[in-house]
Amino acid sequence: MADTDVMVQADGLVKIYKTKETEVLALQGLDLTVNKGELTALIGNSGSGKSTFLNMIGGLDRPSAGSLWVDGKNLFTMSEKELVLYKRETVGFVWQNNGRNMLPYLTALENIMLPMNLSSTRHKKDKALELLEMVGLSSKKGSKMNMLSGGEQQRIAIAIALANSPKLLLADEPTGSVDTKTADYIFDLFTELNNNGQTILIVTHDMTLSKKVKRVVAIRDGKISSERVLKEEFADRIGESNIDWRAEDTQDEYVVMDKAHRLQIPPELIDELKLDDNKVRLSYKDGNIIISKP
């Protein structure tokens, strides 16, 4: 992959899970490009393939077919040893279940220091303190996990994911188990990180919070179905507190064609056609492609 501005390049990505009885096609030829410095949200119903895709980028699962490059590294050809190094140096992961990020018998400070690459203890401590300050929890450095609220634990989890200065930060439903106020804080924290150059990919089911993101990619049935792009009048106002992001119509939505010029028509529009079978008529008029019932 020659383009140095690209962080993630997925082409025709397929993932098949097999058991003795069944075969599940989790990804069905997914195409997606994420540039360096982007904050991108992935949305979709349960089972759509969004978490499967995130796990592949994170090196936690292997694709079945297609092409997947992250930061110039080919995830198809990596050895197990290279994959361990990739997970340590290239990606940081924030889970919905923050217990996967932390050890309960360590303090917040010790948890953040734990994954850091080999360096002096002093350097690790200084960096961990900086990360604690960044997530607004300097006063909790000596607290163990049972002394922190769920929202505080999730903010510590973000600091842990950033401990090794990853090129790409991945977050799987990072606001799924916190209250609305904390969810807003966490999204604002991701925005601040992104403004400082951090590339971030978030899987979320929270449609209202995703309205603050400049680029939202919707996955349906294992493929990219549409993209939502922040309207120009909101793009430079993300930091403003006087905007009700949950109420405003902040994004334009576009259906995405794959490389074979196929697209997914939203189910609600198909329902409007009241089709008798799976055939439709296509026509072209005044610069528009029209899909109609035969």
The confidence band for 42, taking pLDDT boundaries of 50, 70 and 90, is very high
3-state secondary structure 107-172: EHHHHHHCCCCCCCHHHHHHHHHHHHHHCCCHHHCCCEHHHCCHHHHHHHHHHHHCCCCCCEEEEE
pLDDT of 71 reads 94
Q: 281-285 and 199-203 as β-strands: parallel, antiparallel, unpaired?
A: unpaired
The confidence band for 237, taking pLDDT boundaries of 50, 70 and 90, is low
Query: In the chain, where are the structural domains located?
Result: 267-294
pLDDT in tens, 119-138: 666 788 899 999 999 999 99
Closest-CA residue to 133 (of 112, 104, 107, 103): 112
Q: How far apart are CA 254 and CA 241, in angstroms?
A: 27
Sequential DSSP letters for 213-248: SSEEEEEETTEEEEEEEE-HHHHT-TT-TTS-TTTS
The confidence band for 20, taking pLDDT boundaries of 50, 70 and 90, is confident
Q: 91-94 and 251-255 as β-strands: parallel, antiparallel, unpaired?
A: unpaired
The confidence band for 182, taking pLDDT boundaries of 50, 70 and 90, is confident
Closest-CA residue to 10 (of 183, 167, 224): 224
Output the CA torsion sign for 251, 270, 43, 99.
positive
Beta-ladder partners of 24:
17
pLDDT in tens, 72-95: 999 989 999 999 899 988 999 998
pLDDT of 99 reads 65
- In the predicted model, is pLDDT for residue 185 greater than 90? no
Percent of the chain with pLDDT over 90: 36
